[in-house]
C-alpha cells in the first residue's frame, strides 16, 4: 500500500481563493479553535456591554453584574444566534482569513466587508462554511472505511 504524502494543505484544512468587488480573498476552513475564539469574542463583547451599562453605579454593584457575566457560559445557542448577525459573520470570516494573512486584523476585516451588500456577504459566508463539508473523495473514502469483524 502506497503511503500518501502529507502536505501543508492537509494540515491546515481546505482553502479557497476568489475575487469579489476587486478584492482578493483567501478563506480557509474554520476549526474548533476558531469557534473557541468566537466564544471568547462573545464573552468579551458581553463584558464590554456590562462595563458601559454599569459605569454610573457603585463599584460593589458593578462587580456583581460583572461576576454574573463572567460565570455565565456562552452556549451553543448563543454561538448560533451570534453567527446570524453581521459582527458574528465577520468575526468568523476574520478567523478564516487569518490562516492565510497572519497580519490581518479584525478591524481590517470589518472595514473590508461592511461595504458589501447582504447578498455578497451571504455568498462569501456560504463559501467559507462549505470548506468544512466533506468532498466527494472524503465521502467515498468514508464508505470504504468500514469495520470488519
Q: How much is the pTM?
A: 0.71
Residue 103: C-alpha distances to residues 31, 33, 95, 106 (Å): 19, 18, 12, 10
Share of the chain above pLDDT 90, in %: 34
Please compute, for residue 137, the number of CA atoms within 13 A of its CA located in the half-sphere on the CB side.
0
Indicate the SS3 state at residue 19.
strand
Cβ atoms of residues 120 and 58 within 8 Å:
no
**pLDDT tens profile 50-89:** 989 998 999 999 999 899 989 999 999 999 999 888 899 8
Please compute, for residue 8, the number of CA atoms within 13 A of its CA located in the half-sphere on the CB side.
4
Dig out the grid coordinates for 60 from the structure: 460593589
**pLDDT tens profile 2-23:** 665 544 445 456 788 877 777 7
In 5-146, alpha helices (H): 8-12, 32-53, 59-71, 76-83, 86-98, 106-113, 118-130, 136-144
Amino acid at each position: 500500500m502506497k503511503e500518501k504524502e502529507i502536505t501543508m494543505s492537509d494540515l491546515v484544512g481546505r482553502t479557497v481563493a476568489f475575487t469579489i468587488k476587486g478584492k482578493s480573498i483567501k478563506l480557509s476552513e474554520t476549526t474548533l479553535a476558531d469557534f473557541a475564539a468566537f466564544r471568547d469574542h462573545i464573552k468579551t463583547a458581553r463584558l464590554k456591554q456590562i462595563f458601559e451599562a454599569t459605569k454610573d453605579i457603585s463599584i460593589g454593584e458593578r462587580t456583581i453584574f460583572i461576576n454574573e457575566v463572567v460565570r455565565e457560559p456562552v452556549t451553543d445557542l448563543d454561538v448560533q444566534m451570534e453567527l446570524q448577525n453581521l459582527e458574528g459573520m465577520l468575526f468568523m470570516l476574520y478567523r478564516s482569513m487569518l490562516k492565510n494573512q497572519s497580519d490581518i486584523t479584525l478591524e481590517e476585516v470589518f472595514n473590508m466587508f461592511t461595504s458589501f451588500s447582504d447578498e455578497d456577504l451571504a455568498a462569501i459566508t456560504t463559501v467559507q462554511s462549505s470548506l468544512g463539508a466533506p468532498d466527494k473523495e472524503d465521502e467515498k473514502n468514508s464508505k470504504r472505511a468500514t469495520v470488519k469483524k
